[in-house]
């Protein structure tokens, strides 16, 4: 049971560390757009243009399922329409999401399996106590 709880805790930690909630939210609720990713030392410089502004930011990490095609790569991205400065490469949250979900499910599986073992042992113990209580004081086992 402790191992399962450790896996569940690890999934929560990883989700927080990888900022999974806001990234998933943006991936699923954001609007799609096109931008560019330029390779820089230690990451990328992402550039995104709207009808009124140009947004650029440094980005560390991978480009999701998109692949680099050269020094400047056209990429699909998602952005928050209320705050277009919040943007990221499309699908960037998928791999971390799968890792966190798998870790969580593994942990819950361990917890539920341990719970089942404990319940089975408790039933067996109750059955033994019931059997002992049925034996009268004058009888032996």
- N-to-C CA span, the chain: 36
What SS3 state is found at 24? Answer: helix
* 69 in Cβ contact with 103 (< 8 Å): no
Q: Could you report the average pLDDT of every consecutive run of 10 residues in the chain (141 residues)? A: 95 96 94 94 92 93 83 92 93 93 97 95 92 71 53
Quote the CA–CA distance of 92 and 61 in Å, as a whole number: 9
This prediction's pTM: 0.78
pLDDT of residue 33: 94
Q: What is the pLDDT of residue 20?
A: 95
Q: DSSP state, 81?
A: T
In whole angstroms, what is the distance from residue 16 CA to residue 68 CA?
A: 28
């Amino acid at each position: 049971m402790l191992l399962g709880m450790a896996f569940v805790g690890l999934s929560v930690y990883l989700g927080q560390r990888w900022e999974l909630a806001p990234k998933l939210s943006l991936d699923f609720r954001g609007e799609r757009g096109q931008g560019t990713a330029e390779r820089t030392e230690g990451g990328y410089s992402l550039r995104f243009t709207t009808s009124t502004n140009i947004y650029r930011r440094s980005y560390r990490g991978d480009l999701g399922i998109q692949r680099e095609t050269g020094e400047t790569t056209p990429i699909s991205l998602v952005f928050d329409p209320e705050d277009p400065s919040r943007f990221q490469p499309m699908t960037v949250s998928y791999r971390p999401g799968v890792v966190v979900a798998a870790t969580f499910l593994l942990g819950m599986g361990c917890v539920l399996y341990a719970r089942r073992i404990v319940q089975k042992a408790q039933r067996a113990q109750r059955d033994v106590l019931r059997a002992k209580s049925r034996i009268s004081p004058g009888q032996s086992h």
